[in-house]
Amino acid sequence: MYAFEATKIGSHRRLRLETLVRLRWLAVCGQTVGVLVVAYVLKYQLPLAPSFTLIALSVWLNIILLIKYPANHRLRSQHTAALLAYDCIQLGGLLYLTGGLSNPFSILLLAPISVSATTLPFRWTIGLSALVVVVATILGFFHFPLPWDPQLPVHLPQLYTFGIWVGIVCGVSFISAYTNRVAHEARQLADALSATELVLARETHITALDGLAAAAAHELGTPLATIALAGKEALSDMSDPESVRQDLELISEQATRCRAILQKLRNLNSGGNPFSELTLSDFVAEVIEPHRFFGVDIAINKKGEGPEPQIARNAGLIYGLGNFVENAVDFADQQVTIDLDWSQESISIDVCDDGPGFAPEMLGRLGEPYLTTRPKDNLVDNDPTEPGGLGLGVFIAKTLLERSGAQVDFANIDPDGHACVKIGWPRQVIEIEKSFIVPAGELR
């Protein structure tokens, strides 16, 4: 499942053929209207036949693509780059026929670059940018005269044409670098959020299974003990048939009860079992239990006003807090301290260690996707969908906790380091009202 999802995430950058076709239809309409207005409204002289030939080439290209491929076909990067390169050359040809860089529409050479910078890897954008610069340079020296009123000829100075060339080159450079960077960060965030959804789905499934197993152990303990006791009594009373019969009836009755309990557990939801709500300290103790066997002491300190809050077992909370605890254990020298505090308005959990702390240059960026100091060869079983080593662990944990209404902050509590993750909630956001807690005895 995870391999499939990873493939799905990685393929979203491919541009649909329909998108490029529609953009080219828009360009064809604009070019046609422009040529017709200049020729028949403004009455300026320009080579109509070559101009409409170039426009017709784009029309035929669109028709061929629509016939050969379905509209929702996803193009490979090299195919998208080739089509955008054609658009650059076709537009360059029209500009060559209509005044070169002196034509105000020469600014449209930037359009294919913006599409490439948004959707293609940077190397293809660099190639298309170089092509546009070459086309603009050629147009600066070789072109037909700018269509104009023959009674009022216009002669633009070379310095002005050079300024237009410089503007196009600067625009290409800015769009290719800036737009590509912004689009890259947006793709990174989308991929990281997709990974968060995968982790949350997995953790929800694991938590449900864990709660079901705990509920099964709790509910089945009594009837199974009764069955075991009745079996022993039956063995010791073999000489008394009536007593044996009563014991066997009891065993049959308890087996029926076990089946009823299992049937109930099949329909058990997250809010209807005695293990779905627990105190804040019990919740934290459950989270840290798997991390107690790595040679690092984990201490829980409690302080608060009034009764300890009750919270729901939640896959997002378990994974998010567990990730920060795991990181603290990994980097601690000897001890990890978890401080629990609550008041009438808020609940907070601070996870601190005595390790080297957060790197100062990374402290302000913690929580961003793909930010890590760990080598990528630490992946679990070399599975690229695992968050470890990719810089996704902290991002996923922070995202899941913030979804629950938490505020997550990172700090070093000592000049020598000692990292601390501070997690806080408004109490009314996370606490379960006591009136909605189902006592365990009522579920029997």
User: Can you tell me whether residue 141 is helix, strand or coil?
Assistant: helix
Query: 380-412: buried (b, 16+ CB within 10 Å) or exposed (e) per residue?
Result: eeeeebbbbbbbbbbbbbbbbbeebebebebbb
If pLDDT is split at 50, 70 and 90, which confidence band does 265 have? low
What is the structure's pLDDT at 110?
A: 94
Residue scoring higher pLDDT (342 or 391): 342
Hey, what's the torsion of the CAs at 285, 291, 296, 297, to 10 degrees?
10
Residue scoring higher pLDDT (443 or 368): 368
Q: Which of 395, 13, 320, 9 is nearest to 194 (CA)?
A: 9
Q: Is the pLDDT of residue 271 over 60?
A: no
Average pLDDT score, the chain: 78
Report helix, strand and coil shares of the chain as percent, to nearest 5.
Answer: 65, 10, 25
311 close to 430: Cβ distance less than 8 angstroms: yes
Q: Which of 225, 257, 273 is nearest to 440 (CA)?
A: 273
Q: Which ranges in the chain are annotated with CATH 3.30.565.10? A: 277-436
Amino acid at 167: G
Task: Kindly give, in sequence order, each residue whose CB lies less than 8 Å from that of residue 379, ignoring residues fewer than 6 positions away.
Answer: 386, 388, 389, 390
Quick one: tokens of 1?
A: 């499942």
pLDDT above 70: percentage of residues in the chain = 73
Question: 335-342 and 297-304: which strand pairing?
Answer: parallel
CA pair distance 21, 34, nearest whole angstrom: 20
Q: What is the pTM of this model?
A: 0.54
Side-by-side strand order, sheet with 417-426:
297-304, 335-342, 346-353, 417-426, 407-414
Residue scoring higher pLDDT (163 or 214): 163
Please write the tens of the pLDDT for every residue from 78-91: 999 999 999 999 99
What is the structure's pLDDT at 9?
A: 40
Please write the tens of the pLDDT for every residue from 199-254: 666 666 655 555 555 556 555 666 766 776 676 666 666 667 777 777 677 777 77
Domain 277-436 has CATH 3.20.20.70: no
User: Can you tell me whether residue 418 is helix, strand or coil?
Assistant: strand
Q: How far apart are the first and last CA of the chain?
A: 37
Average pLDDT over residues 378-391: 43
What is the structure's pLDDT at 378?
A: 43
Residue scoring higher pLDDT (23 or 2): 23
What's the angle, vertex CA 139, arms to CA 137 and CA 141, rounded to 5?
80
111 close to 150: Cβ distance less than 8 angstroms: no
Kindly report which listed range (20-24, 63-67, 311-315, 354-358) carries the lowest average pLDDT score: 311-315
Residue with tokens 């260690």: 353
